[in-house]
Structure 1
Amino acid sequence: MKRICIVTWFGSGNYGTTLQSFALHKKLKDLGYNVNILKEFNLSHKRQNYFRYILNILGLLSFAKLLKASKSKKNYRLKKFIAKNYNVKEIYTSRQYTNLLNKTDVFITGSDQIWNAQSNFNPFYFLNFAKNNKRIAYASSIGTSTFPDKYKNQIKLLLNKFSYIAVREESAIQTINSLLERNICIQVADPTFLLTCQEWKEIASKSKTKNLPSNYILCYLIGNNDFYITQIKIIKEKFGINNIIIIPSLENPNFYVQDAIIYNETGPQEFIYLIEHAKLVCTDSFHATAISINLSVDFIELKRFKDTDKASQNSRIYDLLKHYKLDFRLYDETHFSWIRPIDYNIVKNIVTQDRKQSMDYLINAIENK
């Protein structure tokens, strides 16, 4: 049984970050691998690390985290979800670090924008600590269309140490192949697509959410854009749906539409449940869109960034919609093609094919040299 260590974002209040890390962890575990997910560490913080190491041995660190999270039902549900479903590895000492390297067969960088050097270049998520261990990238995202010039040389050195590289967006393939001057990079599906619709429904069935209206528009919006309110009002009128449920995002916690119901206590399971039962999802989130597609739920994509913004992350949304032939779901004030229902028979076939190809890549990358 090979021992695998995943390096990706997890544990924040962002639902997409949690769901993508959970999906990859679960799928690898289901395949029979011994799986850990590694928390970011820095051995230079010796005094702080030693103190946390002692607390961890005594079991007080986990207790303290849950106690802190209990002040917010959302955070408490998130921490409980992670405690139940993740095998988290934390490194505090040099000895633990050495053991990590000796007892790990493969390090895998997961999905999300862990390689987005425009917003925050962090060598840890390029596995700069892995030394001579095997490195694989699965659906890693650069978020934007390129790497900043000032980091390109460093990123090139780190990526050249990977045995296999697979990214989430098609637009990233040329960027990485060009940087490395060889055709190593391919595209795979986001980890959330590795789980079937039925698997996500089973997870959602454990939700604590009750007494939902029969018809509702679910809004989950990350961007802090005032024009979203006008757009949702138009969408509401076009579809004739009066009920609106809002899941506040970590990035935009105060978003509100008149007469909307706010679900502040939404954990990962509740997030899936609310998408599953929505008549329509309005979102600018990559993962809310991906989950809607996987669950065959109609959605409308709101545009979070201007295309001219240097830090625009629109390319990942465009790639996702184009790949599943859902470009018409992007909100447009002049053309109302987004009113047309989605033919999910076509989409399901693409999802099934993607899942198989992505699983083949993952297993091959792990098992082969």
Structure 2
Amino acid sequence: MKKIGVITHYFGSKNYGGLLQAYALCKFLNERGCYAEQISYDSSYKKSNKSLRLLTINEIKDRIKSIIAPVCYKFSDYKIKSSLLQREKAISIFRTAIPHSKTIYNDITIEKSNEEYDIFITGSDQVWNIDWYHPPYFLDFVSPKNKKISYAASISKERLTMSQISLFKRSLSDYNAISVREESSVALLENVIKMPITYCLDPTLLLSEFQWNDICSKRLCQEDYIFCYFLGKNLVARKLAMEYAIRHNLKIITLPHLSGHYRRCDAGFGDIQLYDISPGQFISLVRYSKFVFTDSFHAIVFSHIYKREFVVFSRNAISPMNTRISCITKLFHTEDRYCDTEEKLSIAYIESLEKIDYSKNQIDYIKKREESISFIDDVLNL
């Protein structure tokens, strides 16, 4: 049996969606008779601490947060810090249960993983987001004797610069098969790489509702509630959630300070603020909610899986089109749930939405799921 190494945003991740897609791909592959596990790749370790290089946008943000966060704690409830540690623990327990390599690799040692695996898969999630560029996510370390595949890799860009085009052309030229998570990325890469580019589903959508029930926890709140899952700081979205909750006599459940640091936008927001929440409990919060307000791709995914009512917003008020959100809502014909214009950012608009008819919104998804499975079967010879 060939051994498959999957590289994605797994090691040390505190992101619910990222870990659930990492879990899903391994589970799906292993249930089809493969031996697949996540490669424990520590992307924070650099080849040379003395070398000069330009920091990515997200690295700059992380450094700023590390400076600002301690100051924010002084002006907020210091108990938040211990609560966030509880959240990290709950997430960590789930993370370690996902099949993964015992060896922790870094930029220097990642080549040694060629001795452990026959096939390498990069994806899903934003492994090809240039703002978070790390060569191993492009499988630059893989030996020519081993297979290189991308599964539902996300670029999260609508267009590429000349230097980015050059990078993709250089990095993907020797792949055995390429698939991306957003339909718009197909055309983007077909102009760069002279090989077929396939649009596939995020791994979370490869598993059925019944498979997700295996790890979904029991109901956490017996009262009817809105689940607000906001990774960004959009205050308009939070205000609309509060208005909707008041009108419909619903509680608001939130997971505050998802950045891992105190955020003023989360202070006092929500009737029930939860910290000690595992990915299985995250799924439960979606499953038993009356309505989901979010800015998260994977919160939308689980809203569809469990047939929940939802609306989704851009991370920071109105911003350029989010390809991930546009793609997933188009697949399920729920584009009207994306509140991405001034007109849609109103309680009147949200109240005017008809209930989602999930019985009519499954045809394209079922077809795309079959195509995604066929892609995996074909490239792995299953």
TM-score when scaled to structure 2? Answer: 0.80
- Pair 1:122-2:131 in alignment: no
For structure 2, which runs of at least 5 residues remain unmatched after alignment? 50-81
Partner of 1:224: 233
Of 329, 336, 340, which residue of structure 1 is paired with 2:354?
A: 340
Partner of 2:3: 3
Q: Which amino acid aligns with 2:176?
A: S
Q: Secondary structure at the match of 2:213?
A: helix
Contact 1:36 1:89 in 2 (8 A): no
How many residues align? The count is: 337
The alpha-carbon distance between structure 1 residues 94 and 352, as it changes in their structure 2 partners (threshold 3 A), is closer
Alpha-carbon shift at residue 329 of structure 1 (Å): 1.1
Structure 1 runs of 4+ off > 4 angstroms? 41-46, 91-99, 256-259
2: distance between equivalents of 1:295 and 1:102? 41
- Pair 1:40-2:48 in alignment: no
- Pair 1:316-2:324 in alignment: yes
The alpha-carbon distance between structure 1 residues 99 and 304, as it changes in their structure 2 partners (threshold 3 A), is closer
Alpha-carbon shift at residue 37 of structure 1 (Å): 1.0
Alignment of 1:127-138 (within 5 A): 127-132=139-144, 133-138=146-151
1: distance between equivalents of 2:141 and 2:359? 44
2: distance between equivalents of 1:125 and 1:338? 43
Partner of 1:275: 286
Contact 1:145 1:172 in 2 (8 A): yes
The alpha-carbon distance between structure 1 residues 233 and 43, as it changes in their structure 2 partners (threshold 3 A), is closer
The alpha-carbon distance between structure 1 residues 179 and 103, as it changes in their structure 2 partners (threshold 3 A), is same
Alpha-carbon shift at residue 327 of structure 1 (Å): 0.7
The alpha-carbon distance between structure 1 residues 304 and 156, as it changes in their structure 2 partners (threshold 3 A), is same
Q: Secondary structure at the match of 1:265?
A: coil
Alpha-carbon shift at residue 70 of structure 1 (Å): 11
Q: Secondary structure at the match of 2:215?
A: helix
For structure 1, which runs of at least 5 residues remain unmatched after alignment? 47-68
Offset from partner CA, 1:48-105 (integer Å, 9 cap, x none): xxxxxxxxxxxxxxxxxxxxx9982221122211222322353559997565213422
Q: Which amino acid aligns with 1:112?
A: D
2: distance between equivalents of 1:187 and 1:347? 19
The alpha-carbon distance between structure 1 residues 124 and 306, as it changes in their structure 2 partners (threshold 3 A), is farther
Aligned CA-pair RMSD: 2.7
Alpha-carbon shift at residue 303 of structure 1 (Å): 2.2
Of 118, 124, 130, which residue of structure 2 is paired with 1:105?
A: 118
The alpha-carbon distance between structure 1 residues 253 and 216, as it changes in their structure 2 partners (threshold 3 A), is farther
Alpha-carbon shift at residue 137 of structure 1 (Å): 0.7
Partner of 1:86: 99
Alpha-carbon shift at residue 247 of structure 1 (Å): 1.6
Q: Which amino acid aligns with 1:277?
A: Y
Alpha-carbon shift at residue 348 of structure 1 (Å): 3.1
Contact 1:7 1:37 in 2 (8 A): yes
Q: Which amino acid aligns with 2:200?
A: V
